[in-house]
């Protein structure tokens, strides 16, 4: 390439455009939507095109000598997740930061594969990325903001409007990671997108930042230079003002870089052809530079930015005040990426807060503001009671809740952070065995039950004395006319050992009282499963407002169930977790459109081999078992209204251990006196009664 191309920019203004028509329907193709969003922004505000033209036409050349300092950018990852795999780990994010710093400093190992005609054009951009250490409120952070929201699916700009999920763009590079991205009509898979600085400068500051698929962060299969690791390199290029190398097709330097040969077609270099030359009208005629991060080539091929691209990015820091402030010395101090000469403020995080006995937990010292010269950890109840390491890995041998303390020191002073019950350790095999039933009859359920109400925000689930399905109380998600849309109400079960139900078709079921307020009502009910003390939840079932309502033809406001006919059975198979010794379930209600929703009532949750609807025979059978606990003798009394009943005893593994009564056709009041076989061990058992209209069960205890 001639020397003038390495020192000058082609500044001919080209209309920015999108080539979505080039997508051929091959879903394996992956796209970036920056062009699309930029064109949409221009349609709404033509001044953006003028701003872009002024910027690219007035670029100031960058000195070929390196600056004395690099541009440092504070970064925050807003991890928008639904308790699934998109809730990526801190280690994954830190690995992505490492890869970005390699790519933008030309220290990436695969730069050695750059072809000879482009080796002298690979530029050290002198840009560095650091996770923020201080949040907008002045508190310590690890630069990772986890936000629970179903908007992670098919995401768009709407994730940027989630409360607390956007920090000041003049101080932080906001990166939103999501499960999937709406392709906006384009074909193929959208990996990410950003807004160009010209759009941000013309009123779109709330859109500034990058939306990226969570599975495109970090590494894939140990290969840090696959398309996964390079997605954010590409999108940050857009964030800093770079266009695709194929902008303008073969007609000229549509990306305003004279040192990137023209490229025709969005995916001309998808397979990185060794002698690919999609445009032959450039002078000199050069092969396509698929090594460039701004092409749609494979991530294993991408290895470079050029000097002209470095010039564009550098000019952004001096042209736009919001970018200038981002990398200013004052902002680096304010966001904690540069330390002040003060005592540190202690802060820590961990890979998990709930774990099984013996499971390793890694702790991170995220202290901020001042340099930490030494530290002291205290892990009450752990196998390592203290440590001075930066990231100690700790295990616990006994179930319980444990305090964690960090003392951070330097020559100026020290600071201590101690969090009570920070870690919860669960047994490898849960103590709770099915059948597990919850009818919310205790007035202190919310504080004394092993079930946990963990709803995000307020209001939360409450125990209601409204018309319950059975008994006198039920649980309610109090959705009202003032309820915030998508407000989540979450109830988590105790850990359960499901193995006693192996082969017995286990299920989780509950009665739900709900009716739509209007045809627009959009409440949802979800049931999640978490295995092995994990904090990752798997969706078992989703019930829409139409699936929950007891009558789709009825609409009313401020609904309260009047009787059992206004309740509906919700049930889901648990056959897939019959072998699990430690599982939890989460029952989540999500509010729909503000002002269009109704409360959702839940009662008689049952995790067993039976549906909770068997509780419908409780009143008709009127079961009474005494004494309970007992030494060996039971009196069983019930009303037989169905004409055919059977009574037996099961152990906690669900195996029948005694037949008490078989095919009893006598109706009316039934009384059975029964004595336990001496060979049957003392302990907990379940008395089962089968009637024509269902099952009923009663826990009984035999003891000396």
Q: Is 650 a catalytic residue?
A: no
Q: Name the percent of the chain lying above pLDDT 70.
A: 88
Beta bridge partners of 234: none
User: What confidence tens digit (pLDDT) does each residue in 190-204 have?
Assistant: 889 999 999 999 999
> Measuring CA to CA, how many Å separate 104 from each of 50, 72, 422, 423?
29, 11, 38, 38
Report the C-alpha gap between 383 and 385 in whole angstroms: 6
Residue 270's pLDDT is what?
75
Each residue of 491-513: pLDDT tens digit? 999 999 999 888 888 999 999 99
- pLDDT at residue 10 greater than cutoff 90: no
Q: Which residues of 522-561 are buried (b: 16+ CB within 10 A; e: fewer)?
A: bbbbbbbbbebbbeebeebeebebeebbbeeeebeeebeb
Q: How far apart are CA 378 and CA 374, in angstroms?
A: 14
Structure tokens at 205: 């500051």
Domains of the chain and CATH, by start: 32-248+307-331 (3.40.390.10), 348-426 (2.60.40.10), 436-614 (2.60.120.200), 622-702 (2.60.40.1930)
Among residues 235, 359, 523, 588, which one is catalytic? 235
Specify the residue for token string 């074909």. Answer: 187
* Count, residues in the chain: 704
* Cβ atoms within 10 Å, residue 106: 17
The upper half-sphere exposure of residue 81, i.e. CA atoms within 13 Å in the direction of its Cβ, equals 20
**Mean pLDDT, rounded, for 362-391:** 97
In this prediction, residue 528 carries a pLDDT of 94
Structure tokens at 519: 């045809």
- For residues 234 and 453, give the distance between their C-alpha atoms in angstroms, rounded to a whole number: 42
Least confident of 182-196, 241-255, 623-637, 677-691: 182-196
Pairing of strands 71-81, 173-178: parallel
What is the distance between the alpha carbons of residues 105 and 46, in angstroms, rounded to a whole number?
Answer: 35
Task: Tokens for 553, please give them.
Answer: 């033809």
**Cβ 412 vs Cβ 341: under 8 Å:** yes
Give the strand order in the sheet containing 633-640. 624-626, 633-640, 668-675
Q: Are 696 and 608 in contact (CB under 8 A)?
A: no
Q: Which pLDDT belongs to residue 589?
A: 93
What is this structure's pTM?
0.77
What the block records as the tokens of 639 is 């009303």
B/e letters for 589-606, b = 16+ CB within 10 Å, e = fewer, are bbbbeeebbbbbbbbbbb
Q: Give the N- to C-terminal CA distance of the chain in Å, as an integer.
A: 94
pLDDT at 25: 25
Q: Are strands 354-356 and 414-426 parallel, antiparallel or unpaired?
A: parallel
* Helical (H) or strand (E) element with 4: helix 3-7
Q: Is 486 left (phi over 0), alpha (psi -120 to 50) or beta?
A: left
pLDDT above 60 (res 24): no
Torsion of CA 378, 381, 382, 385, to 10 degrees: 40
H helix intervals, 240-320: 307-319
- How far is it, in rounded angstroms, from Cα 51 to Cα 197? 9
Nearest-angstrom CA–CA distance, 78 and 489: 22
Average pLDDT over residues 444-462: 75
Please give the pLDDT value at position 7: 34
Q: Which pLDDT band holds residue 382 (cuts at 50, 70, 90)?
A: very high
Give the pLDDT confidence score for residue 401 in this predicted structure. Answer: 94
Q: Could you please report the per-residue DSSP string of 430-483? A: -SB-S-EEE----TTHHHHSSSEE--SSSS--EEE-S--SSSS-EEEE---TTP
């Amino acid at each position: 390439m001639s020397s003038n191309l390495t020192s000058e920019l082609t500044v001919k203004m080209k209309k920015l455009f999108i080539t979505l028509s080039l997508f051929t329907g091959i879903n394996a193709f992956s796209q970036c939507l920056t062009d699309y969003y930029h064109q949409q922004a221009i349609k709404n505000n033509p001044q953006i095109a003028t701003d872009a033209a002024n910027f690219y036409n007035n670029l100031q050349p960058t000195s070929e000598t390196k600056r004395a300092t690099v541009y440092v950018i504070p970064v925050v990852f807003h991890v928008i997740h639904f308790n699934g795999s998109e809730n990526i780990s801190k280690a994954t994010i830190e690995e992505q930061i490492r890869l970005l710093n390699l790519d933008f400093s030309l220290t990436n190992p695969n730069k050695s594969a750059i072809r000879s005609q482009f080796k002298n054009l690979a530029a050290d951009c002198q840009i560095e990325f650091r996770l923020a250490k201080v949040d907008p409120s002045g508190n310590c952070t690890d630069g990772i903001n986890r936000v629970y929201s179903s908007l992670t699916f098919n995401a768009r700009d709407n994730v940027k409007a989630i409360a607390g999920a956007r920090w000041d763009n003049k101080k932080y590079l906001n990166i939103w990671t999501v499960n999937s991205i709406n392709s906006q009509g384009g074909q193929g898979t959208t990996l990410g997108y950003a807004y160009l600085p010209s759009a941000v400068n013309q009123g779109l500051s709330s859109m500034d930042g990058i939306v990226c698929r969570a599975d495109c962060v970090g590494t894939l299969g140990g290969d840090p230079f696959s398309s996964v690791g390079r997605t954010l390199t590409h999108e940050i290029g857009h964030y800093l003002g770079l266009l695709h190398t194929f902008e303008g097709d073969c007609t000229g330097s549509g990306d305003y870089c004279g040192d990137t040969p023209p490229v025709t077609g969005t995916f001309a270099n998808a397979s990185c052809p060794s002698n690919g030359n999609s445009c032959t009208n450039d002078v000199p005629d050069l092969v396509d530079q698929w090594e460039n991060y701004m092409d749609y080539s494979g991530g294993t091929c991408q290895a470079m930015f050029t000097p002209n691209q470095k010039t564009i990015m550098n000019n952004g820091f001096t042209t736009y005040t919001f970018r200038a402030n981002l990398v200013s010395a004052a902002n680096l101090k304010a966001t904690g990426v540069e330390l002040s000469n003060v005592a540190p403020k202690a802060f820590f995080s961990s890979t998990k807060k709930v774990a099984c006995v013996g499971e390793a937990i890694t702790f991170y010292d995220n202290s901020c503001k001042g340099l930490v010269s030494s530290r002291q950890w205290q892990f009450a109840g752990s196998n390592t009671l203290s440590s001075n390491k930066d990231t100690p890995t700790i295990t616990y041998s006994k179930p319980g809740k444990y305090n964690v303390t960090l003392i951070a020191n330097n020559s100026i002073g020290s600071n201590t952070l101690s969090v009570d019950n920070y870690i919860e350790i669960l047994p490898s095999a849960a103590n709770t065995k099915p059948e597990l039933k919850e009818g919310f009859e205790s007035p202190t359920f919310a504080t004394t039950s092993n079930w946990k109400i963990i709803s995000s925000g307020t209001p939360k689930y409450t125990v209601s004395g409204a018309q319950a399905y059975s008994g006198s109380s039920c649980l309610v998600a109090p959705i009202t006319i003032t309820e915030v849309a998508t407000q989540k109400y979450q109830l988590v079960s105790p850990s359960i050992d499901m193995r006693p139900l192996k082969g017995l078709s286990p299920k989780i079921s509950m009665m739900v009282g709900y009716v739509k307020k209007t045809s627009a009502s959009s409440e949802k009910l979800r049931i999640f499963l978490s295995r092995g003390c994990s904090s990752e939840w798997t969706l078992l079932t989703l019930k829409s407002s139409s699936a929950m309502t007891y009558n789709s033809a009825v609409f009313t406001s401020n609904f309260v169930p009047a009787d059992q006919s206004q309740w509906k059975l919700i049930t889901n198979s648990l056959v897939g977790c019959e072998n699990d010794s430690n599982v939890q379930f989460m029952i989540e209600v999500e509010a729909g459109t503000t002002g269009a929703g109704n409360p959702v009532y839940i009662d008689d949750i049952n995790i067993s081999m039976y549906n909770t609807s068997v509780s419908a025979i409780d009143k008709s059978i009127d079961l009474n078992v005494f004494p309970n606990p007992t030494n060996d003798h039971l009196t069983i009394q019930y009303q037989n209204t169905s004409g055919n009943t059977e009574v037996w005893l099961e152990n906690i593994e669900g195996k029948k251990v005694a037949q008490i009564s078989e095919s009893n056709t006598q109706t009316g009041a039934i009384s059975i006196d029964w004595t336990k076989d001496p060979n049957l061990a003392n302990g907990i058992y379940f008395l089962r009664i089968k009637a024509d209209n269902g099952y009923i069960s009663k826990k009984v205890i035999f003891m000396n």
